[in-house]
């Protein structure tokens, strides 16, 4: 886990032996399950450390680490988590957070049940379902202080799939790759309609990443109108203009 250790240091994060052990087990489980179900195209040991684990930990650049440690049970949901990214790396780093992992593919959530148990990550809630439906359930709607997503969708769609989960006063952090200015312009109305306000577009500046990576940080300032998110598939087919 040398690459992860070095990269994490550059993020100001010191990983304990126990955490490194958990990352190592997580790596082994991903590679093993990847033979049966399609979790990731990246299985190389060095690359997983950088492109999955370190990349997930860049979320810490947008959150107040001291606040997470002091505030017990910060509620976090990772929407479209796939193999558990970025949620699981964040939960390994901050055992105090109360984490929910959501994905629509039951094979992936079966992996998440297995791997969280294997890693000894207690109390992680795993939800199988579409964000469009789950976000209308009262126990999830506007219940989370922090909503994460990585590689989920284009911004207007992503806003509709994430902001409804976020408490007023909470934050959405979306990890995105590539040139974003046009996507952001297109998303301005969607973010506003859904009760959000763009706080910052934060560029990730780490030597490990040659491509452009950003954190899109959106504050939830108003309630999301009841009609959102729309029915499954609609946010992607007809993004809010």
Taking CB under 6 A as the binding criterion, the range among 5-13, 28-36, 99-107, 187-195 that sits at the site for ligand SAH is: 99-107
Please say which residue, 151 or 201, places its beta carbon nearer to ligand SAH.
151
Query: Which long-range CB contacts under 8 A does 38-46 form with residues at least 24 apart?
Result: 39/82, 39/83, 39/108, 39/111, 40/82, 40/83, 46/3
Q: Quick one: 41 or 185, whose CB is closer to ligand SAH?
A: 41
Helix (H) / strand (E) containing 8 = helix 2-10
Q: Is 51 in the site for ligand SAH (CB under 6 A)?
A: no
Q: Using CA atoms, how far apart are residues 86 and 52, in angstroms rounded to an integer?
A: 8
Judged by CB under 6 A, which stretch of 16-24, 59-67, 89-97, 103-111 contacts ligand SAH?
Answer: 103-111
Cβ pair 62, 202 in contact under 8 A: yes
User: CB 187 → ligand SAH: shortest distance, Å?
Assistant: 17
CA 219/CA 227 separation, integer angstroms: 20
Shorter beta-carbon distance to ligand SAH: residue 98 or 130: 130
Selection from 146, 131, 127 nearest residue 228 by Cα: 131
The alpha carbon of residue 24 and the mean position of all alpha carbons in its chain are separated, in whole angstroms, by 20
Q: Least CB distance from residue 104 to ligand SAH, whole Å?
A: 4
Residue with smaller CB distance to ligand SAH, 85 or 100: 85
Q: Which of residues 129-168 bind ligand SAH (CB under 6 A)?
A: 130-132, 150-152, 161
**Does residue 105 touch ligand SAH according to CB under 6 A?**
yes
**Residue among 188, 102, 117, 199 at smallest CA distance from 147:** 102
Q: Least distance in Å: CB of 52 to ligand SAH?
A: 7
> Residue 189 — φ and ψ, nearest 5°?
-70, -40
Query: E-strand spans in the chain?
Result: 75-79, 98-103, 125-128, 144-150, 166-177, 196-203, 213-220
Residue 91 near ligand SAH by CB under 6 A: no
In the bound state with ligand SAH, the residue whose beta carbon lies nearer, of 18 and 45, is 45
Residues 6 or more apart whose Cβ sits within 8 Å of residue 144: 75, 76, 77, 100, 165, 166, 167, 170
Should residue 82 be labelled a site residue for ligand SAH when binding is judged by CB under 6 A? yes
Contacts to ligand SAH from residues 162-221, by CB under 6 A = none
Of 13-21, 80-88, 197-205, 208-216, the segment contacting ligand SAH by CB under 6 A is 80-88
Selected binder of ligand SAH within 27, 61, 108, 160 (CB under 6 A): 108
Rule CB under 6 A: is residue 103 a binding residue for ligand SAH? yes
Inter-residue contact 38 to 106 (CB < 8 Å):
no
Which residues in this chain contact ligand SAH in the complex, by CB under 6 A? 80-83, 85, 102-105, 108, 130-132, 150-152, 161
């Amino acid at each position: 886990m040398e690459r992860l250790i070095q990269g994490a240091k550059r993020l100001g994060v010191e990983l304990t032996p126990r955490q490194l052990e958990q990352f190592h087990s997580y790596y082994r489980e991903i590679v093993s399950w990847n033979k049966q179900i399609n979790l990731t195209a990246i299985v190389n040991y060095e690359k997983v450390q950088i492109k999955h684990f370190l990349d997930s930990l860049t979320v810490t650049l947008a959150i107040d680490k001291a606040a997470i440690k002091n505030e017990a049970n910060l509620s976090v949901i990772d929407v479209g988590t796939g193999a558990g990214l970025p949620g699981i790396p964040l939960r390994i780093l901050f055992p105090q957070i109360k984490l929910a992992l959501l994905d629509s593919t039951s094979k992936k959530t079966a992996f998440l049940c297995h791997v969280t148990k294997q890693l000894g990550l207690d109390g992680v809630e795993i939800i199988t379902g579409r964000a469009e439906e789950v976000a209308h359930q009262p126990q999830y709607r506007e219940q989370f202080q922090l909503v994460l997503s990585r590689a989920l969708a284009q911004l207007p769609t992503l806003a509709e799939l994430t902001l409804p989960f976020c408490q007023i006063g909470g934050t959405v952090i979306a990890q995105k790759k590539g040139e974003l200015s046009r996507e952001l312009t297109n998303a301005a109305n969607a973010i506003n309609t859904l009760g959000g306000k763009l706080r910052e577009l934060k560029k990730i500046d780490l030597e490990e990443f040659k491509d452009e990576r950003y954190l899109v940080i959106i504050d939830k300032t108003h309630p999301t109108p009841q009609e959102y998110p729309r029915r499954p598939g609609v946010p992607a087919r007809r993004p809010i203009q």
